[in-house]
Structure 1
Amino acid sequence: MTLTNYISDLLYRYECVIVPNFGGFITNKISAKVNNFTHTFYAPSKQLTFNSHLQNNDGLLANYIATSKNISYDEAILKIKNEVENWKHTLNKEELELENIGFFHLNNDGKLIFEPTNTVNYLTSSYGLNSFVSPAIKRTSYQEKVKQLETITPIFHTKENNSKTPVFIKYAAAAAILFTLGTVGWKEYQKFEYNSLVAQSEQQQKNVEKTIQEATFVINNPLPTITLSVTKKTNNYHIIAGAFREPENAKKKLQQLLQKGFNAQILGVNKWNLTPVAFESFNSKKEAINKLKIIKKTESKAAWLLVKKY
């Protein structure tokens, strides 16, 4: 099984899968939709995007490979590294295709451009639901089109063609008109869909870059599972020490901060399935910023300020 297959497996279960030193694949759920031009119904699905700034190893992909292949964590990391090097080598020469995920290529500025595949739906609740077409019935509209056509090219009735020929010509003319309208409409709809997808992807990239910041700590021997009582705070300003994929690592970091005298706390699980740990939390923004400056100088340059109610 290649690295692409492992990534694809994880995308069914997680909203973010990071490939160390390459980037992160992010999924966003979109509702069912209808193409009003082709009368096609589409099931709910996950929209796949890529963020090249998410390169820190969060352990998710490596742990999954290690478990699946029954190898050590370090061996899994090495396999990921080798595969990523092959991808980058390919991108320097041609387009890179990741099966069931999408295509990559470099633009003129050397930046990665990602085009997701539309053949796989990673939303498990939509498994087995395929798109289908249900044409609209517009008999009145069809009759009006036929009448207009008869005005331009009259049909003369005779005893021979009175019962058969006019009916055939009417339906043939109506079909030709509808086919022309449908073709033009479909092209316009495809253009609209493409522009909408590009706009949504750009906005999602900006939102992710603005809100996601992770600190990764590789812990070979995590502490045994413990039960912590976290009191709900009204403080809205949190100085973040790190965000962890594994809850045990978050608890380990919490213990380290408490031993150093910080009023640390775990802020729960966010929408990316990460567990943030805060050095301290404050009601005052000014007080939080002043404390953040001190922590950056004395403890961690990677510390950052999260403004959010929990």
Structure 2
Amino acid sequence: MNLEKHISFLLYRHDCVVVPEFGAFITQKSNSAYTPETAVFSPPSKKIAFNPSLILNDGLLVQELAQSTGISFEKAKEEIETTVRFWKNHLNTNSSLVLAELGNFTKDETGRLEFEPNAENYLLEAFGLESIRAKYILPTENNQSSSTIWWKAAAMVPILIGGFLYFGKPQPVTDYVNQQWSGFVSPVFNPNTEAAKAVASPIKIVESEATTYKEEVLTVYDHQVISGSFRKLEEANAQVEKLHEQGFTAAKMTQKKGSYYYVAFKTFPTKDEAQQYRREIGEEFPETWVLSLKD
């Protein structure tokens, strides 16, 4: 059983996930940032840390495991206890423990446990957004006044806001933002006619692509009956085609969360509708589960 996969899933919706008798994974939020030395913009993020002092069972992880796998509450509790024993035994005989979905645990010379998280961003509002380096296609002077720098920053804001507003689907957002940076023109005072034409073109592209993307997003709802998650995009597309052949014409790949592409039978505006649909197909597809982006 891949317990860390269930922990990772919960961290998108909760600030703390306790693994009974082992410790708690806690999320820490940070705002978007700009690094002048590298000209890199970083999106808002939610990274994880580990607290070994929080070990009392709050039921959250047990409930998630039971609901997503279809086993009883007691069986889920036993599965977690077995996994925790394995983790502890591994750390007693080895200097490190690698949890692919979360990060790496290591022991120092005194036996103190240290945690190095992976680079996953657990903030849904910024899901799929990557750090962006501004690309300038017009020459700029080495010594610029403060007003010139602020002029450039102000020109970047609409592009950043446009990308961050469409966070529901990670891959289109990433493409959208990266495309806009690729055409960004560094504003300078007293531009000539050619520079003005270079600025005008990408602005039209932003408007048309943003409109098209918004129309696509409206067809995917927050409560999704998931058929499966796949590490490779081609595997997810193959699953969609298979479901279409079986008569599930509404099936689609809804989003990429972490390293996985999620394929849904169907999406619904309410959780009750999604759960009802899961019950209807549950006998034929017992591994189906409901993913709610908004509880």
Q: What is the TM-score normalised by the length of structure 1?
A: 0.43
